[in-house]
Amino acid sequence: MTVVIGFEGSANKIGVGIIRDGEVLSNPRRTYITPPGQGFLPGETAKHHRSVILTVLQEALDEAGLKAADIDCVAYTKGPGMGAPLVTVAIVARTVAQLWGKPLLGVNHCIGHIEMGRLITNSQNPTVLYVSGGNTQVIAYSERRYRIFGETIDIAVGNCLDRFARVIKVIIWLIALYVSVVFSVEDLSKSTKYIELPYTVKGMDVSFSGILSYIEDAAHKLLSTSQCTPEDLCFSLQETVFAMLVEITERAMAHCSSQEVLIVGGVGCNLRLQEMMGVMCKERGARLFATDESFCIDNGAMIAQAGWEMFRSGHVTELSDSWITQRYRTDEVEVTWRD
């Protein structure tokens, strides 16, 4: 049996997970929550991670019922992600590996999502839609690489939705049309009135910045003149960007002759995205695989699972090479653990 502990902290989540031969033994995490309407800054996020990471580590060991001697390898997120949080996690992982006398392994964050999704859903060779606050990619495995067939050329879909959620909250507050404790595009998308928005698919790639700029400019005018409701705008934005993602995913499936789709990343929790993708898959006679927020959202177990696969195929990161990188492409990693 091989036991791997994984440290994840590339953004506002800090998690430590332990995997033993495909079994999730523990997976605690914490979230850095900013004041309402604000994004999280790298320095403040790293400060949060430093304050809780040892507590989360102890929780992971306690939940798994293991001690340091039971761990075979220490995996950590090498990138991509935010620089300061990545450094925080890498330092702790390096320290733990040296104190415990265990090999160290740097893991690509995106591949962590893919391998966790494959494990939980038991999908075999899916076309992967990876959607989060920082990444938007359509990926398929070929010749020892996770190949990127399409991606955003500017901002990620999660970033687009989050930024509009903050905008709509400010506008709603200013014109006193609507008040709520929690604002998110998914929460406010319970509408059926569609407002036409730019639809930007360029070959296999997508662009969200223009859509965001357009709807930000239009929102105040449309709401203040009662031409639509906040729900209408959120519904329209969500339908438009998700339709774009379904389109490029289907095109990748056709190219690869794939009969499986796996949605991973934080935005993959969105039930409407899963529903739209499910319709497309049904029309093609394909299967859709998705997970809940336990594994869609960043977590330590996904790094442990990717580390488990890599470690068993001979990968180890020397201490001198255990740096981090904010830009780490999914297709840079040689996937030696798959046929």
Known binding-site residue numbers for substrate: 130-134, 162, 186, 270
Give me the helix-helix angle, 209-224 and 157-175, nearest 10°: 20
Contacts of 153 (CB under 8 A, 6+ apart): 202, 205, 206, 207
DSSP state of 317: B
In angstroms, how far is CA 255 from the centroid of its own chain?
24
The annotated binding site for a divalent metal cation is made up of: 109, 113, 130, 298
The annotated binding site is made up of: 109, 113, 130-134, 162, 186, 270, 298
User: Residue-wise over 126-153: b if at least 16 C-beta within 10 A, else e?
Assistant: bbbbbbbbbbbbbbbbeeebbebbbbbe
Name the token pair of 332.
Answer: 């840079």
Question: Going by DSSP bridges, is the β-strand pair 260-264/127-131 parallel, antiparallel, or unpaired?
Answer: parallel
Tell how many helices (H) and how many strands (E) occur in the chain: 9, 13
Nearest to 54 by CA among 20, 99, 116: 99
- Contacts of 38-45 with CB under 8 Å at 24 or more apart are 38/166, 39/162, 39/166, 40/11, 40/12, 42/82, 42/83, 42/84, 42/85, 43/84, 45/11, 45/12, 45/82, 45/84, 45/85
* Alpha helix ranges (H) inside 157-208: 157-175
